[in-house]
């Protein structure tokens, strides 16, 4: 397994400066904002040197950072297979390669999600025992933040893969918050034990019986995500992505309603002026960019996917998230737990099979 940078070494972050809808200016502004907020790190910016050089020189907060020339750009419509074959001169490829070579502790990119996943798997490989990576998302709740995974890497997932997602999410939440025993729930159509299909019920049984150290809360429903019922919500990528995009759309709709309600008359405008400080705080809490940064879990390296439409503040959030994970050994925890649970899960399946056969014989 690749090691993170040594504890006493300066933290170095690889940034795909050409990824994202707002161009390299927003990426460098986000990095400068992170530095201004106190982040002690050196940035390696990957992209066209002729474009990035002047932008870097104009931002004194990024002094000591470096531009590494990578003229190719991965477009949002590019297929992952095309990027693997013909995209090795791209800023995305070079940024991930920096982590693979140990030049940087973590990579941040706002580029094509599928391509970034393919490039990351190809260069970094999977943690031993993990079948597929998962994309995690931070989700605002009354208690702070929860983690939802997978939100798009895998359209389908079997019981063992859901178990692996749960283990990865637990370790990630612990690394992010320091909470020793994060609570974990499986997203289902109901909280009752008999709800859902066999796949999700099998995953629940394995977690209960093969991972007794996990604070497994059983099944949760969709409304439990925003309530913060559990710290880690586990589901397949299809369901998770639909839930994430639905929540983002709902947040923007509510924000537009609030804005309209507060600006439709002189009286409401005066009221909005009086509540200005509280409204600014509310807007910040509802801003999706404040929780920007999806971590690709399951890889031998840390990859943070910034939202393609993120502005400088969103890029800042993704960079700060990446830096917070750079030196935490949560990937080692994942490897050890996955191996132990997989070993115990064999016994769980054998026991259940024998029990089913005994019941059938009795009938």
pLDDT tens digits, 341-358:
877 776 655 444 444 444
Within a domain: residue 361?
no
The reported pLDDT for the residue numbered 9 is 61
CATH of the domain at 314: 3.40.718.10
Q: What average pLDDT does the chain have?
A: 85
0.75 surpassed by pTM: yes
Is 363 a residue whose pLDDT tops 50?
no
Domain-embedded: residue 333: no
Structure tokens at 313: 């503040």
- 320, two tokens: 């700060």
The number of beta carbons lying within 10 Å of the beta carbon of residue 290 is: 16
Whole-number Cα distances in Å, 204 to 131, 152, 243: 18, 21, 21
Q: What are phi and psi of 59, to 5 degrees?
A: -125, 90
| Residue 196 domain-assigned (yes or no) | no
In a domain, 266, yes or no: no
With respect to residue 115, please indicate whether it lies within any of the assigned structural domains: yes
Q: Are the CB atoms for 199 and 160 separated by under 8 Å? A: no
pLDDT of 256 strictly over 50 = yes
3-state secondary structure of 69: strand
Number of H helices, E strands in the chain: 13, 11
Structural domain contains residue 52: yes
Q: What is the pLDDT of residue 315?
A: 93
| Residue 67 falls inside a structural domain | yes
Structure tokens of 16?
A: 């795909």
Residue 122 neighbours by CB distance under 10 Å: 14
Tell me the mean pLDDT in the region 271-277.
73
Query: Is residue 90 in a domain?
Result: yes
Q: 173-232 pLDDT, tens per residue?
A: 988 888 989 999 999 988 888 787 889 999 999 988 888 889 999 999 999 998 999 999
What residue numbers bound the domain in which 62 lies? Answer: 9-125+299-327
Burial class for 363, CB neighbours closer than 10 Å (0-12, 13-18, 19+): exposed
Into how many domains does the chain fold?
1
């Amino acid at each position: 397994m690749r090691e993170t940078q040594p504890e006493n070494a300066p933290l170095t972050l690889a940034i795909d400066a050409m990824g994202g809808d707002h161009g390299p200016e927003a990426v460098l502004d986000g990095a400068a904002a992170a530095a201004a907020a106190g982040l002690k790190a050196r940035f390696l910016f990957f992209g066209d040197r002729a474009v990035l050089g002047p932008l870097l020189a104009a931002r004194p907060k990024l002094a000591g950072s470096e531009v590494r020339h990578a003229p190719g750009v991965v477009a949002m419509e590019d297929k992952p297979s095309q990027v693997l074959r013909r995209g090795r001169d791209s800023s995305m490829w070079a940024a991930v390669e920096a982590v693979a070579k140990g030049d940087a502790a973590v990579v941040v990119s706002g580029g094509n999600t599928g391509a970034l996943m393919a490039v990351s798997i190809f260069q970094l490989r999977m943690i031993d025992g993990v079948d597929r990576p998962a994309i995690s998302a931070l989700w605002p709740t009354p208690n702070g933040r929860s983690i939802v995974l997978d939100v798009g890497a895998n359209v389908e997932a079997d019981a063992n893969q859901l178990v692996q997602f749960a283990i990865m999410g637990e370790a990630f939440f612990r690394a992010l918050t320091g909470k020793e025993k994060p609570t974990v729930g499986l997203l289902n159509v109901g909280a009752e034990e008999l709800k859902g299909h066999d796949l999700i019920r099998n995953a629940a049984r394995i977690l209960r019986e093969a991972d007794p150290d996990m604070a497994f809360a059983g099944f949760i429903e969709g409304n439990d995500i925003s309530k913060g019922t559990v710290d880690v919500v586990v589901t397949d990528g299809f369901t998770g992505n639909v839930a994430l995009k639905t929540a983002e759309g709902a947040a923007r709709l509510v924000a537009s309603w609030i804005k309209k309600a507060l600006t439709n008359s002189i009286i409401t405008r005066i009221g909005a002026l009086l509540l200005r400080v509280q409204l600014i705080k509310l807007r910040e809490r509802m801003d999706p960019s404040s929780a920007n940064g999806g971590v690709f879990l399951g890889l031998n390296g840390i990859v943070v996917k910034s939202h393609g439409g993120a502005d400088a503040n969103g890029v800042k959030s993704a960079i700060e998230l990446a830096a917070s994970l750079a030196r935490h050994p949560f990937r080692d925890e994942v490897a050890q737990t996955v191996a132990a649970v997989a070993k115990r899960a064999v016994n769980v399946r054998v026991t259940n099979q024998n029990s089913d056969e005994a019941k059938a014989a009795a009938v």
